[in-house]
């Protein structure tokens, strides 16, 4: 809803749980004035709210006569996720209105126009009034880059400028609207910049320039540019200097009142487009806006929602701006020096784009107004210019750190401030600084992205970065380059990669790669002046020969690698032939072509470029991509290269006697066809020039949306074949240089200062390193081991686990034991993982469980939210449905879903995770409908974000061989990962696989010991539980317990009442997690079996670890942090699970301790044969003590149990009370569990927690914590129909609901509420729990409709809750389709599935098709109107 009257507009926005309405308020003489907007939140997204707007009405309540505090109270009382209608007044003496127009896509676009009243007298009066207001305002102190600005007053210059603005405003506005009608794309003015250049001018004492009326229609532009960009013909073209922008940002919170007075300036119009335009453009512009965070002082500024940070990173912001302000303008755009854009036309259809990114160019091209040098091959920096002064390094470093933190959306955060302070300190001390690994990865990718001469940049996100800065010697440099070749080659499926060696400290101590390309053919100059081989390599070939290398004088001899470290003389190494992939050339239609005996190497590795980033140079880098066919073709036919064009023409019998026969063109075309055919027939990656051209046009489009431009050198981009047949030929391009970048530098052999013969002139140095055949063979064999070790130090594998019970963590640690054989591995919990590193991971392994009905585990919620944010950067998230939507009843395993990689798609752009390889293992129970739903969601999200899945998702079912499923996956994913990173030949697979059962995290005899802590004090049990489970465990008191069912019933349910000393924060629908204790008899029996007497002394488990110090390996005992310091009997009572059947892994350990061969064999069978194990477990469901009784020869080591037994998990129960009724009490409805094993002939087993709570004396302590169930919460407004459907103990959460309803009705907050309760039980007299409460609720009107389904009632047919659904079909369908009804379902899986199907059948009966019915139910889920709290089908695994 958007309406407007004179100088007022009415808008509708949503108040979110986070950041509320998304704007800041300031108290201006008791009026509520908007002083700033929060990035990416509701107000800014609407594009209809501006700083300076006054709030006149809220939800039809006029607030102008109210105090500021009263307005705040009204706004704060509005519930989260509720719509709010605001009446906003624009600046005084202005006319504010909304205008709707239609873009070229046909979509409506609503814009806001704020224009001054066009009266010259009024203009003059208003300008004088503003001047006076500014003069009398309080002093504002703003510090920017150490400069202090005191009281500020408007000068007469500014007054005259203000009075002269906009005499032709109406004509200009007409031109703006004409421009809008042309379908241009817009983005909103940054909130601190809207009408903000005027305060900047005033605060600077009247300096600066205003061109026109200060109006701005602002097209989409880069996130790194804070300036408004205005198309030609638009009124009010103005430019604000960077220092003024900086002043505005840092002074924003302190000058709100002055800004208010300036906002009333006449003749200033702002057209702000709304959010209803193209969604793609919106996503990019929203991403752009993240870089311009506004901070506000705490005084008189509040955020309506979550508090904002008080951080004011003005020094960072101003530093970046100051650096940009000091840049030299690009000579190529001298004539347009003051322009904010350069128009670029696509001549095919006449469409134009506006490049604004070029203004961020930090380097000067060699063009000037009198000449253009763009067609020169390269321009090399003078060697003496490469040592930068400290001031320049500081400036460039500050700009790079800004870029990096903008890229990870942490611009202006404390982390940004801390990092810059660290970098600044390093530079001030040494003139240099070290990059973090993630920063280096970002820089390398950005440099490729900025490479204006590269046509294949669309895959810049997929660049694999090898950090080789730890390397110190030529030998290890050589090994790293061999690894690079091996990785990039990838058996012909070429991958882009870069290896980066140490940065420059001084030019005299550089690390250098002397080869122009790592793989290149030699060129031998003959006595007669002819050349055998590649003429481009003759000079470097001679250098290699002087170093002692002797080639074979062939046309295609691979040159050696020559490297130098720390400025020392170079060393030479031959490349093993087996790692260089070469393609023999042949033609599909002319077999004779093969007689030319041509070949070419598959991987081009450029190695003579200078990597320039953040003021630091890296002179030794090796970058590789893939070939385009024309590149190789030119190498064959160029006169300065092999010059084979005439020989090739003869193969095709072409007439070479005259040029006009076009034989050159035809021969060149056939050569390109042969190159493509040769590569493709050997499954070797290559791209044709047409595909490359199309992909570059796509890249230009992407970059225009994201950054507002793309540097491109037309002369280099357009391929030498195809000409005007290619789209790039018709595209105007703008050549400029951005940082980071790859630059040219002098060849190493030309500038090297020889150490061993400083008087070297023409005398050639002797060979530095030459190997014979045997030495090479030994070196290759030896280097294989070094290669694997070096690669392991560079290829990082990150294992992230998300767990509710701790099992995912155990699996993750077992996976670590395997992957440490080939990778640098890090294991980390999802909630401790730095999410900003995700985009820079090389290999990501996810091990995650799924909680309840498809939710992420507690410690995986933030990770899920971040994936959602990456997928939908413009959406707020907080609800499960916004994280991921479950649209089906079951999510099956995708083991069968093998995805093939189409090599033809390698030129497509990657997503934000384009360089991440990943694999996912999910844990779950098939008793739940959404089996491993969260794992599937993570897998699909990573795919959608561009990640490369190296192995389809595997899942482990706790009811069917979960351990074996994990072992199979771990073995397979390690093999695939080693293969993918070319480590397969260098890793002992047998040792790695054996680590699954013998690794550091697995128990082996003698590796662990149990030791009493002498004089130690046991941990307090609540603290011990909290430490073990990483939860905030609270201590409450059991105050009451009563039975809810008749004693004659076959089932028993109790209501327990738990009391706290203080209010307990929770919502209806939340869960309470209760910690139980194993029964005393089981603990005593187990201790007797172990031969241990209870002792009050705390015990600790210690593990024997090895530590290498130099060449010596020492072994020490280290405490195992898994368990708290408690006596042994307390560990078995409260910490460890001794009732759940042992896992297959534990059975394998027990087998190793069995003395009887028969028992040992039986235990081994159970550990290896999943079918036998599951049958044995299902029939016996044995406790640990029963297993030890079954296998009496097992001599149990207590440390085995302490290491391998699972933790005793808390049990979750729906809270059955409302905090509005008794804020200090929690009620829980608990069904007592008891069952017979062995088909009814075995011992009775009781549920651990239910029996514990049933026997626990009153007034004893209970340990628990609250788990939020946000997806089962009530709606914020209780004005729609609500259906509560539950059976048995499934009614538990609804008791909290109806208590809440009663209290809300007392305050008249739920008068329109309409509640329907559908409850099912066996017998109305024996099992109808809460009968009396329900009857009372029906009488007082809290529950309007009640339906009882009885499945064991004598004399009536069986009925279940789903049986009720058809009887209320008419009302139910109307409520869900027209009245916004919410449905809550609580119970076991079977009941929930039955209810879902019954509702679907109602939809079908009402005329919907199957597809429409499914879509309707999916819509209910995605909009949080269909809520489920489901527990698995009852099985003995529950332990309740």
Catalytic residue IDs: 454, 457, 626, 631
C-alpha distances in Å from residue 487, one per residue of 196, 484, 631, 829, 999: 52, 5, 22, 30, 28
State the DSSP code for 1344.
-
Please give the DSSP secondary-structure letter assigned to residue 1136: B
d(CA 768, CA 765) in angstroms, rounded, equals: 8
Cβ burial of 1110 (10 Å; 0-12, 13-18, 19+) is exposed
Q: Which of 1241, 1137, 1233 is nearest to 1179 (CA)?
A: 1241
What is the DSSP secondary-structure string of 560-605?
PEEEESTTPPPEEEPPPGGG--EEE---SS-GGGGGG--EEES--E
Using omega within 30 degrees of 0 as the cis cutoff, is the peptide bond preceding 366 cis? no
Rounded Cα distance between 1093 and 1274, Å, is 52
Q: How many CB atoms lie within 10 A of CB 727?
A: 18
Report how far residue 131's alpha carbon sits from residue 165's, in angstroms, rounded to the nearest whole number. 15
Longest CA pairwise span in the chain (Å): 115
Structure tokens at 468: 């080789």
R_g (Cα) of the chain, nearest Å: 37
Rounded Cα distance between 789 and 798, Å, is 17
Q: Are 699 and 613 in contact (CB under 8 A)?
A: no
d(CA 449, CA 737): 11
**Peptide bond before residue 1284 is cis, with ω within 30 degrees of 0:** no
Nearest alpha carbon to residue 349 among 690, 689, 697: 697
Q: Which residue bears the tokens 């009941």? A: 1391
Q: What is the 3-state secondary structure (H, E, C) of 1376-1397?
A: HHHCCCEEEEEEEHHHHHHHHH
* Beta strands at 954-957 and 1234-1236: parallel, antiparallel or unpaired: unpaired
CA dist 619 and 511 (Å) reads 7
**CA-to-CA distance for 1305 and 1301, rounded, in angstroms?**
6
Instruction: Tell me how far apart the terminal alpha carbons of the chain are, to the nearest angstrom.
Output: 52
Q: What is the dihedral of CA 1417, 1418, 1420, 1423, to 10 degrees?
A: -170
| Helices 314-325 and 414-430, axial angle in degrees (round to 10) | 60
Distance separating alpha carbons of residues 751 and 761, to the nearest angstrom: 13
The whole-angstrom separation of Cα 1169 and Cα 1164 is 8
Q: Give me 736's structure tokens.
A: 């400029």
Handedness of CA 184, 186, 189, 195 (dihedral sign): positive
CA torsion 820→822→828→834, rounded to 10°?
Answer: 150
Whether 381 and 744 have beta carbons less than 8 Å apart is answered as: yes
The phi, psi pair for 1218, rounded to 5°, reads: -115, 140
In degrees, rounded to 5, the angle at the alpha carbon of residue 478 between the alpha carbons of residues 445 and 456 is 30
> In angstroms, how far is CA 26 from the centroid of its own chain?
35
Walk across the sheet containing 270-273 and list its strands: 94-102, 108-116, 270-273
Which residues, other chains included, contact 368 with Cβ-Cβ below 8 Å and sequence gap of 6+?
A: 331, 334
């Amino acid at each position: 809803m958007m309406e407007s009257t004179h100088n007022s507009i009415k808008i509708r926005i949503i108040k979110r749980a986070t950041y509320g309405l998304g704007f800041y308020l300031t108290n201006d003489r008791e009026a509520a004035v908007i002083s700033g907007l929060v990035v990416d939140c509701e107000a800014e997204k609407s594009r209809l709210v501006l700083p300076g707007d006054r709030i006149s009405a809220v939800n039809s309540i006029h607030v102008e006569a109210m105090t500021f505090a009263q307005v705040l109270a009204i706004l704060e009382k509005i519930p989260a996720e509720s719509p709010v209608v605001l009446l906003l007044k624009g600046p005084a003496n202005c006319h504010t209105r909304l205008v709707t127009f239609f873009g070229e896509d046909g979509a409506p676009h609503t814009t806001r126009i704020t224009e001054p009243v066009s009266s010259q007298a009024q203009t003059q009066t208003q300008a004088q009034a503003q001047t006076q207001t500014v003069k009398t305002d309080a002093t504002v102190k703003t510090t920017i880059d150490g400069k202090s600005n005191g009281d500020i007053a408007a000068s007469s210059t500014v007054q005259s400028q203000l009075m002269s603005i906009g005499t032709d405003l109406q004509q200009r506005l007409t031109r703006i609207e004409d421009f809008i009608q042309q379908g241009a794309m817009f983005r909103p003015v940054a909130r601190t910049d809207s009408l903000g250049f005027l305060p900047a001018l005033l605060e600077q004492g009247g300096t600066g320039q205003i061109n026109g009326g200060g109006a701005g229609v602002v097209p989409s532009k880069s996130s790194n540019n804070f300036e408004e960009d205005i198309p030609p013909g638009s009124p009010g073209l103005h430019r604000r200097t960077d220092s003024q922008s900086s002043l505005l940002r840092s002074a924003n919170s302190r000058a709100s009142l002055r800004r208010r007075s300036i906002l009333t300036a006449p003749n200033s119009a702002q057209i702000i487009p709304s959010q209803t335009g193209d969604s793609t453009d919106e996503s990019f512009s929203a991403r752009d806006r993240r870089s311009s965070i506004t901070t506000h002082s705490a005084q008189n500024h509040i955020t309506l929602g979550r508090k904002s940070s008080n951080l004011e990173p003005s020094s960072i912001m101003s530093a970046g701006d100051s650096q940009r302000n000091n840049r030299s303008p690009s000579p190529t755009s001298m004539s347009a020096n003051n322009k904010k854009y350069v128009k670029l036309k696509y001549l095919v259809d006449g469409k134009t784009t506006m490049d604004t990114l070029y203004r961020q160019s930090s380097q000067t091209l060699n063009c000037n107004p009198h000449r253009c040098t763009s067609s020169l091959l390269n321009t090399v920096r003078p060697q003496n210019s490469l040592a930068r002064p400290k001031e320049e390094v500081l400036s460039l470093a500050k700009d790079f750190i800004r870029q990096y933190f903008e890229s990870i959306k942490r611009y202006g955060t404390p982390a940004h401030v801390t990092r810059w302070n660290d970098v600044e300190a390093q530079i001030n001390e040494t003139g240099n600084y070290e990059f973090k690994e993630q920063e280096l990865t970002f820089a390398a990718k950005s440099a490729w992205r900025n490479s204006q001469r590269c046509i294949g940049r669309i895959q810049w996100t997929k660049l694999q970065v090898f950090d080789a800065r730890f390397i110190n010697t030529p030998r290890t440099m050589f090994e790293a380059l061999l690894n690079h070749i091996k990785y990039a080659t990838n058996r012909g499926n070429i991958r882009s990669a870069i290896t980066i060696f140490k940065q420059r400290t001084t030019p005299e101590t550089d690390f250098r790669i002397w080869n122009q390309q790592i793989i290149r053919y030699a060129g031998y100059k003959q006595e007669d002046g002819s050349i055998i081989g590649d003429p481009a390599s003759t000079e470097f070939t001679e250098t290699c020969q002087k170093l002692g290398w002797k080639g074979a004088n062939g046309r295609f001899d691979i040159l050696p690698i020559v490297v130098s470290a720390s400025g020392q003389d170079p060393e030479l190494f031959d490349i093993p032939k087996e790692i260089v992939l070469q393609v023999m050339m042949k033609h599909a239609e002319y077999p004779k072509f093969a007689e030319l005996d041509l070949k070419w190497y598959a991987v081009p590795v450029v190695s003579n470029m200078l990597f320039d980033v953040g003021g630091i140079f890296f002179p030794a880098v090796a970058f590789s991509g893939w070939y385009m066919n024309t590149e190789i073709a030119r190498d064959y036919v160029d006169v300065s290269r092999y010059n084979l064009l005439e020989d090739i023409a003869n193969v095709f019998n072409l007439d070479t006697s005259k040029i006009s026969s076009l034989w050159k063109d035809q021969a060149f075309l056939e050569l390109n066809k042969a190159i493509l055919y040769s590569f493709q027939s050997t499954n070797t990656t290559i791209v044709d020039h047409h595909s490359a051209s199309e992909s570059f046009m796509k890249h230009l489009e992407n970059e225009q949306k994201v950054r507002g431009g793309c540097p491109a050198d037309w002369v280099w981009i357009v391929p030498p074949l195809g000409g005007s047949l290619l789209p790039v030929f018709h595209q105007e391009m703008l050549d400029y240089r951005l940082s980071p970048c790859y630059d040219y530098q002098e060849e190493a052999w030309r500038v090297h200062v020889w150490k061993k013969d400083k008087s070297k002139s023409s005398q050639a140095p002797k060979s530095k390193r030459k190997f014979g055949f045997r030495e090479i063979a030994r070196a290759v064999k030896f280097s294989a081991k070094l290669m694997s070790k070096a690669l392991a130090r560079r290829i990082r594998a990150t294992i992230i686990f998300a767990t509710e019970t701790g099992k995912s963590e155990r699996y993750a640690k077992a996976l670590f034991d395997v992957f440490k054989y080939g990778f640098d591995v890090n294991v980390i919990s999802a909630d401790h993982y730095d999410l900003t590193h995700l985009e820079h991971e090389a290999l990501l392994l996810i091990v995650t469980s799924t909680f309840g009905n498809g939710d992420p585990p507690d410690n995986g919620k933030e990770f899920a939210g971040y994936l959602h944010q990456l997928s939908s950067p413009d959406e707020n998230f907080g609800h499960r449905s916004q994280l991921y939507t479950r649209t089906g009843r079951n999510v099956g395993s995708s083991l069968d879903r093998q995805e093939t990689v189409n090599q033809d798609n390698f030129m497509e752009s990657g997503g934000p995770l384009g360089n991440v390889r990943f694999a996912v293992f999910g844990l779950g129970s098939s008793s739940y409908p959404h089996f491993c739903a969260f794992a599937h969601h993570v897998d699909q999200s990573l795919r959608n974000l561009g990640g490369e899945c190296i192995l389809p998702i595997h899942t482990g079912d706790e009811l069917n061989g979960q351990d074996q499923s994990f072992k199979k996956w771990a073995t397979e994913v390690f093999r695939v990962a080693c293969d993918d990173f070319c480590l397969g030949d260098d890793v002992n697979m047998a040792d790695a696989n054996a680590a699954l059962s013998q690794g550091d995290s697995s128990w082996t005899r003698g590796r662990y010991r149990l030791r009493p802590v002498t004089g130690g004090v046991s941990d307090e049990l609540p603290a011990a539980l909290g430490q073990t489970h990483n939860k905030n465990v609270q201590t409450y008191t059991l105050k009451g317990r009563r039975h809810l069912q008749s004693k004659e019933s076959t089932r028993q349910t109790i209501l327990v009442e738990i009391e706290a000393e203080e209010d307990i924060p929770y919502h209806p629908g939340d869960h309470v997690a209760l910690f139980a204790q194993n029964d005393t008899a089981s603990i005593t029996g187990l201790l007797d079996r172990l031969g241990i007497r209870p002792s009050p002394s705390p015990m600790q488990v210690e593990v024997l670890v090895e530590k290498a110090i130099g060449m010596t390996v020492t072994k020490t005992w280290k405490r195992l942090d898994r368990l708290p310091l408690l006596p042994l009997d307390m560990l078995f009572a409260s910490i460890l699970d001794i009732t759940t059947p042992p896992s297959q892994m534990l059975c394998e350990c027990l087998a190793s301790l069995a003395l009887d061969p028969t028992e040992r064999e039986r235990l081994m069978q159970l550990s290896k044969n999943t079918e036998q194990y599951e049958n044995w477990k299902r029939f016996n469901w044995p406790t640990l003590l029963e297993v030890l009784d079954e296998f009496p020869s097992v001599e149990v080591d207590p440390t085995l149990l302490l290491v391998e037994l699972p933790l005793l998990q808390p049990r979750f129960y729906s809270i059955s009370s409302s905090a509005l009724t008794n804020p200090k009490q929690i009620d829980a409805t608990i069904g007592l569990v008891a069952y017979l094993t062995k088909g009814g002939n075995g011992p009775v087993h009781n549920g651990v927690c239910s029996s514990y709570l049933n026997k626990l004396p009153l007034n004893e302590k209970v340990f628990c914590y609250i788990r939020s169930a946000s997806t089962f919460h009530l709606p914020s407004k209780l004005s729609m129909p609500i259906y509560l459907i539950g059976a048995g103990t499934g009614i538990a959460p609804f008791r909290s609901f109806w208590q809440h309803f009663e209290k809300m009705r007392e305050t008249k907050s739920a008068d329109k509420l309409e509640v329907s309760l559908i409850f099912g039980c066996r017998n109305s007299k024996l099992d109808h729990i809460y009968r009396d409460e329900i009857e009372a609720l029906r009488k007082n009107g809290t529950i309007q409709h009640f339906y009882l389904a009885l499945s064991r009632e004598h004399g009536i047919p069986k009925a279940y809750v789903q049986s009720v659904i058809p009887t209320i079909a008419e009302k139910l369908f109307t409520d869900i389709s027209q009245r916004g009804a919410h449905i809550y379902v609580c119970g076991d899986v079977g009941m929930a599935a039955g209810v879902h199907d019954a509702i679907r059948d109602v939809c079908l009966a009402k005329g919907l098709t199957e597809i429409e019915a499914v879509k309707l139910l999916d819509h209910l889920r995605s909009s949080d109107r269909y809520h489920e709290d489901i527990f698995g089908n009852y099985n003995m695994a529950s332990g309740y």
